[in-house]
Amino acid sequence: MSGPDLDGVFGALADPTRRGLLERLVAGGPDTATNLVAGLPVTRQAVVKHLQVLADAGLVTPQRYGREVRYAATPDSLGPAVGWLVAAGAQWDRRLERLRQRFER
C-alpha cells in the first residue's frame, strides 16, 4: 500500500467518530447507519457520510439487503497501514539506538 491508499486509511482514521464507528463494527459485526447513530451526537446522515469515507478507504464494506444497507468492517485493510507504522517505528528505533551509542562514547 502506498501514497494515496495509505493517505485514505490514515485520513479516515484521523476522525474520532469514524474510529468509533469502525471499533463498533469490529466488535459487534455488521450493522446499519440507523443502529450505529445511537449514542452519537451526530445525525444519521452524518454517520452515513462517515461510513462512506471508511468504505472509500477500504475499512468497511456496505452490503445491501433490500432497502437496508449493512456495513461490515474489513480490518484486514489495516494490514498495510500497520506495516508502514512498524517500519517507521523500526527506523526511529535504529536512530535512537545510534544516538544512545554516541552519548555512551
Q: What is the pLDDT of residues 28-40, one digit of tens each?
A: 999 999 999 998 9
| pLDDT (tens digit per residue) in 8-51 | 999 999 999 999 999 999 999 999 999 999 989 999 999 999 99
State which fold the 3-104 domain adopts: Arc Repressor Mutant, subunit A (1.10.10)
User: Which secondary-structure segment (H or E) carries 56?
Assistant: helix 44-56
Separation between Cα atoms, residue 47 and residue 8, nearest integer Å? 18
* Mean pLDDT, the chain, whole residue set: 91
- pLDDT score, position 32: 97
- pLDDT score, position 3: 53
4: pLDDT confidence band, cut at 50, 70 and 90?
low
Separation between Cα atoms, residue 26 and residue 51, nearest integer Å? 13
Top pLDDT among 104 and 11 is at 11
pTM: 0.81
Mean pLDDT of 65-84: 91
